[in-house]
Amino acid sequence: MSRTKNSDRLFIHQSISNQKQSSAFPLGVMGGAALIEFYLFKQL
């Protein structure tokens, strides 16, 4: 189960990195993704 969660965190982390590189997404979206990543990290 933790392996799946780690994969989800990696996927979200990559999404955040892509958003930072493109700079086309608003900061609110990045903040929301960061909150999701924090939530998944808390579940570990």
Q: What is the pLDDT of residues 4-41, one digit of tens each?
A: 677 888 777 777 676 665 555 566 677 888 888 888 88
Res 2: pLDDT: 60
The pLDDT of residue 22 is 58
List Cβ<8 Å contacts ≥24 apart for 10-17. Answer: 12/36, 12/37, 12/40, 13/37
pLDDT of residue 5: 76
Q: What is the pTM of this model?
A: 0.33
DSSP string covering the chain: -HHHHHHHHHHHHHHHHHHHHH--S-HHHHHHHHHHHHHHHHH-
Structural Rg of the chain based on CA atoms: 11
